[in-house]
């Protein structure tokens, strides 16, 4: 009966408070009297999209994903030697500088952390309290990336499409997924 009463009390407080929680707690180091139990439930929810940077200011988590991509990066990123030579030849044929920008990558990273910690303390003796806390942590990380092509990159893809549409589609896919390739 006591257990049912305790559970209904705990559930009712959550329902009445609409899951609002105080931003503080009155913890104490006092010893619980013998036989007295103190159940608690801690819940911590955090959403993060920034971190402290090296200069002491806030920095976006996906900041390292935002960078300029040169034609040299695209040429050097090819695994196949034939594709590397074709890409380098097309860049030179179009009169583009290998160090000029072909576009830029962009990215956003978000992190959601939810920690639920049931805590149970029991007064074992008049001078000793035993307590146990079992944290259950859930972490979710979301990353979205993209690539913004320069006009020269689009011209290169259009030029490749005239000769080989399949290779043009492959080049388009690799540029659109530049962060992962």
Model confidence pLDDT, tens digit, residues 37-47: 888 888 889 99
Confidence of residue 29 (pLDDT cuts 50, 70, 90): low
CA distance 92 to 97: 7
Ranges of each domain in the chain: 2-176
Is the predicted pLDDT of residue 30 greater than 70, yes or no? yes
Is the predicted pLDDT of residue 93 greater than 80, yes or no? yes
Model confidence pLDDT, tens digit, residues 118-134: 999 898 988 898 999 99
Model confidence pLDDT, tens digit, residues 98-118: 888 888 888 899 999 999 999
For 64-114, the DSSP string reads: GG-EEEEHHHHHHT-SSHHHHHHHHHHHHHTT--TTSEEEEEEEEEEEEEE
Q: Tokens in use for 93?
A: 């044929």
Residue found under tokens 């979205």: 144
With CA atoms as reference, report the closest residue to 2 among 37, 49, 41, 46. 37
Mean pLDDT of the chain: 81
pTM: 0.58
Is the predicted pLDDT of residue 179 greater than 90, yes or no? no
């Amino acid at each position: 009966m006591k257990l049912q009463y305790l559970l209904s009390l705990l559930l009712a407080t959550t329902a009445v408070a609409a899951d609002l929680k105080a931003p503080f707690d009155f913890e104490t180091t006092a010893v619980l009297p013998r036989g007295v139990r103190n159940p608690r439930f801690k819940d911590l929810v955090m959403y993060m999209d920034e971190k402290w940077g090296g200069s002491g200011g806030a920095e976006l988590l996906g900041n390292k994903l935002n960078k300029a991509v040169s034609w040299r990066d695209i040429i050097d990123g090819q695994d196949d030697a034939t594709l590397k030579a074709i890409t380098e030849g097309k860049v030179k044929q179009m009169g583009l500088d290998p160090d000029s920008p072909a576009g830029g990558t962009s990215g956003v990273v978000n992190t959601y952390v939810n920690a639920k910690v049931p805590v149970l303390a029991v007064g074992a003796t008049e001078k000793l309290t035993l307590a146990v806390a079992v944290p259950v942590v859930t972490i979710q990380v979301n990353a979205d990336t993209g690539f913004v092509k320069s006009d020269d990159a689009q011209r290169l893809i259009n030029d490749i499409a005239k000769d080989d549409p399949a290779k043009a589609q492959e080049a388009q896919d690799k540029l659109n997924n530049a962060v992962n390739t």
